[in-house]
Chain A
Amino acid sequence: MTFSFEANLAGAQLPNPILSASGCAGSGKELSQFFPLNEIGAIVTKSIMVKPRSGRATPRMAETPSGMLNSIGLQGPGVDYFLENDIPWLAEQGARTFVSIAGETVEDYAVLARRMRNLPGVVGIEVNISCPNVENRGMVFSCNPDTARAAIEAVRRNIGGDLPIIAKLSPDVTDIVSIAREVAHAGADGVALINTLLGMVIDTNSMLPKLAQRTGGLSGPAIRPVAVRAVYQVHSALPHLPILGMGGISTGRDAFEFILAGASAISVGTATFGNPQALITVRDELSSLLIERGFSSLQDAIGHAHREITE
């Protein structure tokens, strides 16, 4: 029996469904020492912003049970540097790239979308409208249907061509399905579920918040059940909306959960911090697991947990 591991993520054709997670693969160069970047489905870049950004003060990190808080604050060199340096280098490696973009205003998203036209190796755009590490919680576009829609519309109007747009959503909302529906109407070809959850650790020695900016985004295996739930709910309500699933995936078994819940592809994030080759491990374990469970293709397994419980 031949097995097809190929993935189609909102129109992006990928040899396998394993992507890095934004902010967890650096510029790509840092991981290339550990595996060839074209071995995974796609690299998702750290979120690119219009201008260079220093990010937040340190401490920026706190390890938590089966997870971690981060409070990076979107540190990066800005879109000009990214287009001049990172994109050509990634293309040279034969990597398929999803560019993650993040803005402070709707206009920023429009500006960034225009800069994403006709880039070598770029197979899609992940629109980060859900970074929790911003000074004003009102700036988390995906926490409000109106701002979520406005940001995605700005990207859709300005991107041109047929590059898939994936909207990355926050789980810190009452009803993630309504946000997913809103961004789909606004022109998103798919959704990325989930960004980190807002969290806090208090250092009991200093008796102060551990992170300099007090709160951070919680990631790692601790959030996996929340992520699987989000993927399941959105797939159930919007079965034709492609989903990039993520949240605490560190093994093929974890990835399989997301595929069964309805994800077309998955991202590995925090696991890379603990294991530079986590993406390759997850890829190999997931393909073995799918074959072992009798699937002839990845496509057949997507959403398989939604079948009627009559068997």
Chain B
Amino acid sequence: MSSINAKAQQISAELVSNKKVGSYHHMVFSVGDLAFQAKPGNFVAIAVGGPSSSMVLRRAFAIYRATESGPHGGLLELVVAPHGQGSKWLTGLAPHTSVDMVAPLGTHFGIPTEPVRALLVGGGYGSAPLFGLAELLKNRGCRVDMVLGASTASKIYAPLEGKRSVSSLTLTTDDGSAGIQGQITEVLPRLIEENEIEIIYSCGPMGMLAAITEVSKRYGIVHQCAVEESMACGIGVCMTCVLPVTGDDGVIRMLRSCIDGPVMDGEQVIWDSNRRIPEGTFGA
């Protein structure tokens, strides 16, 4: 055995509930003891389309919350945006259907040993893994501020129970339908300064993560982000979800966002690399 995804298992997970929330579906799966293993930032990979499906690849979803016990045993909760064929199939499932799930996968957000002042930044359904993280940080004595942004109000995922752990919640929308009108990065300098932020955690579209990295660099703040690259397998074998990352040794390598991520150090990721391999990359 190796250390890669050492907690992961392939299981049949029963869908316990499936509720539409704004533009998304909040889906709860019964996963037994697997829930104990999941940490904020981890993701699951689900086979879609049923046994005779023409969709041969799994779909990856960040874990929104893991609940260790309840009437249904351990639960994993996901927030799914029905934007492709696979996610539409998944969000169309009725409770008591079972899916083939591999979980938990990938790296998780690092939790500081000392209490720090953290800012959590989520774009669209990218907010999902941040609520579990907020709870964990708060339990460790951290002050947690959160900012969520999307194109429009219905695409902000901010459930009531998720807000309990945050000291302040700021919303931004491109169309001004909720919170402050504008891009999420526009409000970051003010939040960083007002709350004396020491670390940023983020999840959302790659463009947003790149923009947050620019801000975090300017303020000299650590930025842990969960990247979103399209994956074929989710377990490290297919080599499709790679992105260029500068290692501690200064060498750029094409790393797999599924096993070397999804949580990465924003400052080490080379963001403007779509459709090209950066010069000097190892083996280029």
Contacts and interface: CB of A to CB of B under 8 A. Distances in A.
Contacts of A276: 10, 102, 233, 235
Contact of B230 (A56, A59, A275): A59
Interface string B150-194: 000000000000000000000000000000000000000000000
A32 B2 contact: yes
B232 A70 contact: yes
Interface string A215-250: 000001100000000000000000000000000001
Interface in B53-97: 54-58
A60 interface: yes
B239 A32 contact: no
A68 B237 CA distance: 15
Interface stretch (A135-143, A254-262, A266-274, A286-294): A266-274
Interface secondary structure of B, over-half rule: loop
Interface in B223-241: 229-230, 232-233, 235-241
Contacts of B241: 58, 61
B242 A60 contact: yes
B275 A70 contact: no
A24 B57 CA distance: 13
Interface string A151-193: 0000000000000000000000000000000000000000000
Interface in B1-59: 1-2, 4-6, 8, 10, 47, 54-58
A63 B53 CA distance: 12
B259 interface: yes
B54 A75 contact: no
B274 A273 contact: no
B273 interface: yes
Given A53-B283, A78-B283, A33 B239 contact: no
- Interface size range on B against A: 35 or more
A51 B283 CA distance: 7
A33 B284 contact: no
A29 B238 contact: no
Interface string A86-122: 0001000000000000000000000000000000000
A19 B18 CA distance: 39
A221 B4 CA distance: 28
A52 B280 CA distance: 13
B283 A75 contact: yes
Contacts of B243: 58
A204 interface: no
Nearest to B102: A276
Given A31-B235, A46-B239, A75-B283, 13 more contacts: A24-B238, A30-B2, A33-B1, A34-B8, A54-B284, A55-B283, A58-B274, A60-B239, A63-B56, A65-B54, A78-B283, A273-B57, A275-B47
23 contacts: A24-B237, A25-B237, A29-B2, A30-B2, A30-B235, A30-B237, A30-B259, A33-B1, A54-B284, A55-B239, A55-B283, A57-B273, A57-B274, A57-B276, A59-B274, A61-B230, A75-B254, A212-B274, A212-B276, A221-B54, A273-B58, A273-B238, A275-B10
